[in-house]
Chains A and B, each alone.
Chain A
């Protein structure tokens, strides 16, 4: 295979992987910080995609303008959802394990609710629009412009989140909470503001991922679920609660899938993803990038 072909293959894996990473980061934030294994996470991706599609086709807005908007919208929705259900669960659950189980159930319900809401409002048909589909040549390889945009923006958002968590006081609080919830509360970190905020940001990232996906793929109310499953694989790869791990894990999974599909057959894609998943669970159950403390 020529150098250009290799470049194309790996880059297409990285592009898919960057979306995986973005979705996984949001889920990791929710699970790593609050123990909410949000099965409905992918549904907010779907909402972000539909909102973008409506704005683009009905109102004639640029999908780019919808990126901050879908972030804000899904984040606001996240705040409301947290206030309505997860806050109440936190207050009434006797311990973290019970909370985790209950939150899982609630998020299952939420998944059906959001998916059916979308079917009811927009119908179940496949939708899509045309945006920046012209190819751009980079050396001997070429990519659709919208794919490159997706790659750039998802990396920007992922990096922004990681930098936010590393450098700000809020970020410090979040990291402290991940290390030791009780300890963090003892030193005065306020979970009452941090939890809803991080839950909201998690969903916001999912919304952005949806917005980006709608530029390159067709969309339908059932599109979210597979991304939730992939995100679960990615955060297992990267380690629960590890943001850098989720980013690297997402990109890695994308590349493994692309190379695997090239040498075998796309039909074996799930086999590849799950083999990686099982291998990591067996050999490095704390994630690929876990450092022994």
Chain B
């Protein structure tokens, strides 16, 4: 547990110092490797405010790790020449306005070579049209919205599986397990509403009834009144389209009131190391949004180990972190082949199938159609992919054991 107590602020600074010292020591051989100007890569990221929890687990650590790994190898391969990566980043304060202005500046006046996306559906929604106008390829790892796909922006790519495939996978799995009734709660924003709508579509003709559905506001402090009324209806499955604090709140309060359905599913945050740390053995059997772990591929294991080592015990999350890394893999390959010609990078991303740690990824318009919708489950301290069987890392554990 002690690793969690360490401050990322200090470790980042220490890391910068170490890197600076390393760069100085290596400067002579580096010159021969990294030719010319650095590749300037810009992004805005939440370091303060409500988005920080997600952004600092699933996204920014990957950007830092990527730049460091590439630079340690002599720089990013830009069409055959290795050039050092210079990250130009700032805090968007979890504020859409700041986020949009920062990207406007990065692309409009700083004219950076490449940009990396901000965190979350809302920020991506605001920035994507801008990136499209300035013609910067944009591979978003943490955006989940049908509407983003429907905007048909040629420079915009969504790495995560969207609501329809995710909820279809969930419903398929529940149906196969003979589930007849289900209760759902969802956060009342774009993420929650779209997933809830997709779930309702997925449930049509499945023979599963919704016995209770309730929305709740982000930042909710007490879900027990809702959970108690759900418990009274005794559904086979519970589904929560929740954000990390609410994911943990719903889990803890379900344990508190003794609500233990056969299937307990929550969304963002179940794939976080934090979930295991907070719920301890109680995490066993909890289902959630996840798509990979170390067993998915050798690349995934190497990434997991590098991440955990670099950030002193902080593990990547088993859903969006993998997508963030896969996006960087695709970008690296594209730049290696086409240099910094952004139109060529865009065409390469759109027109090819890519090998990533998550398996093969290809895009139909903006949407990643290579990665199937999936369900993961906590089993003995690891978040295992349990559905669909083709990409499963472990068999499903059903029914969920009692909370401990």
Binding site for B on A (CB under 8 A): 5, 8-9, 12, 16, 53-54, 57-58, 115-116, 119-130, 133, 135, 142-144, 147, 216-218, 220-222, 226, 257-259, 261-262, 265-267, 269-270
Kindly state whether residue B166 has any CB partner on chain A within 8 Å: no
Q: What are 19 A-B contacts with C-beta separation under 8 Å?
A: A16-B222, A57-B2, A58-B5, A115-B48, A122-B9, A124-B46, A125-B8, A125-B56, A125-B57, A127-B4, A128-B277, A218-B249, A218-B278, A220-B245, A221-B52, A226-B221, A261-B226, A262-B229, A266-B225
- With both chains docked as a complex, state the minimum distance between the C-beta of B171 and any C-beta of chain A, in angstroms: 24
**In the bound complex, CA of A123 to CA of B282 (Å):** 26
Interface stretch (choices B130-138, B156-164, B209-217) = B209-217
Of the candidates A16, A130, A147, A221, which one forms a contact with B279 in the assembled complex, judged by CB atoms under 8 Å apart? A130
Q: B1 touching A266 by the CB < 8 A rule?
A: no
Of the candidates A16, A120, A265, which one forms a contact with B216 in the assembled complex, judged by CB atoms under 8 Å apart? A265
Kindly state whether residue B316 has any CB partner on chain A within 8 Å: no
- With both chains docked as a complex, state the minimum distance between the C-beta of B325 and any C-beta of chain A, in angstroms: 18
**In the bound complex, CA of A57 to CA of B274 (Å):** 12
Binding site for A on B (CB under 8 A): 1-2, 4-5, 7-10, 46-50, 52-53, 55-57, 94, 188, 214-217, 219-226, 228-229, 232, 244-245, 248-249, 252-253, 255-258, 269, 272, 274, 277-280, 282
Question: Could you say which residues of chain A place their CB within 8 Å of the CB of B257?
Answer: 8, 135, 142
Extra pairs beyond A12-B225, A129-B277 (20, CB < 8 Å): A5-B232, A8-B224, A57-B5, A123-B9, A125-B53, A125-B274, A126-B245, A126-B274, A128-B248, A130-B282, A216-B252, A218-B244, A218-B249, A221-B48, A226-B221, A258-B222, A259-B225, A262-B226, A266-B217, A269-B216
Q: A124 touching B255 by the CB < 8 A rule?
A: no
Of the candidates A5, A115, A130, A267, which one forms a contact with B188 in the assembled complex, judged by CB atoms under 8 Å apart? A267
Q: A126 touching B217 by the CB < 8 A rule?
A: no
Question: Could you say which residues of chain A place their CB within 8 Å of the CB of B7?
Answer: 120-123
Q: How many A-B pairs fall under 8 Å by CB?
A: 148
Secondary structure of the B side of the interface? Answer: helix
**In the bound complex, CA of A267 to CA of B216 (Å):** 4
Question: Could you say which residues of chain A place their CB within 8 Å of the CB of B272?
Answer: 126
Q: A121 touching B225 by the CB < 8 A rule?
A: no
Q: B245 touching A133 by the CB < 8 A rule?
A: no
Question: Could you say which residues of chain B place their CB within 8 Å of the CB of A128?
Answer: 248, 274, 277-278
- Contact (A270, B217) CB under 8 Å given A16-B222, A119-B47, A121-B7: yes
Q: A217 touching B245 by the CB < 8 A rule?
A: yes
Of the candidates B48, B222, B256, B269, which one forms a contact with A124 in the assembled complex, judged by CB atoms under 8 Å apart? B48
Secondary structure of the A side of the interface? Answer: helix
**In the bound complex, CA of A125 to CA of B52 (Å):** 6
- With both chains docked as a complex, state the minimum distance between the C-beta of A197 and any C-beta of chain B, in angstroms: 31
Question: Could you say which residues of chain B place their CB within 8 Å of the CB of A12?
Answer: 222, 224-225
**In the bound complex, CA of A147 to CA of B220 (Å):** 16
Of the candidates B9, B214, B248, which one forms a contact with A218 in the assembled complex, judged by CB atoms under 8 Å apart? B248
- With both chains docked as a complex, state the minimum distance between the C-beta of A254 and any C-beta of chain B, in angstroms: 8
Which chain A residue lies CB-closest to B282? A133
The list of the 10 closest CB pairs from A to B, nearest first, reads A124-B52, A58-B5, A266-B216, A123-B8, A126-B53, A144-B256, A262-B225, A128-B278, A261-B225, A267-B215
**In the bound complex, CA of A147 to CA of B55 (Å):** 30
**In the bound complex, CA of A135 to CA of B228 (Å):** 14
- Contact (A124, B232) CB under 8 Å given A12-B224, A129-B277, A261-B222: no
